[in-house]
Amino acid sequence: MARRPYALWRRAGDLVVVSGQLGTIPGSDPLTFVEGGAPAQLRQALTNGQSVLAEAGASLADVVKTTLFLTDIDQFGPCNEVWLEFFDDPLPTRSAFAVAALPYGALAEVEFWAHKPL
């Protein structure tokens, strides 16, 4: 997990908001990214996000909105393949952005908004 001056997740009523997750190996210090480019990093970021959601009492099935950040928009197609490994119908809504850079040199980052009543 990234060194952070922010909360990994916060609850606001029935919403659980998870901060952007990177494709780092949990517990690695210094931070170590999985190998295999943006799709592999996205797979790990989604896995890391699953863990944070579980900590908050939610799951990927509760996710209603995501935001995907990629440093190379040409990886959007391959990352969509990874996306479908994690999300079933109904798929959450999603925005995707190409960005110049991500923290620690990451290639992909994803944030989650879940609806999980108390």
User: In CATH, what number does 9-115 get?
Assistant: 3.30.1330.40
Residues 91 and 88: their CA atoms lie apart, in Å, by 6
Residue 101 token pair: 């850079």
Residue 115 token pair: 């609806």
Mean pLDDT computed over every residue of the chain: 95
pLDDT reported for residue 82: 97
Residues 88 and 64: their CA atoms lie apart, in Å, by 12
Residues 28 and 56: their CA atoms lie apart, in Å, by 22
Residues 86 and 49: their CA atoms lie apart, in Å, by 11
Nearest 5°: phi and psi at 72?
-135, 105
Q: Which uninterrupted H or E stretch holds 52?
A: helix 37-55
User: Whole-model pTM?
Assistant: 0.94
Mean pLDDT of 37-59: 98
Share of the chain above pLDDT 70, in %: 97
pLDDT reported for residue 29: 85
How deeply is 90 buried, as exposed, middle or buried, from its count of CB atoms within 10 A (0-12, 13-18, 19+)? exposed
Minimum mean pLDDT range among 27-31, 57-61, 83-87: 27-31
Domain boundaries, the chain: 9-115
pLDDT reported for residue 1: 45
Kindly report, residue by residue over 63-116, the tens digit of the pLDDT: 999 999 999 999 999 999 999 999 988 899 999 999 999 999 999 999 999 999
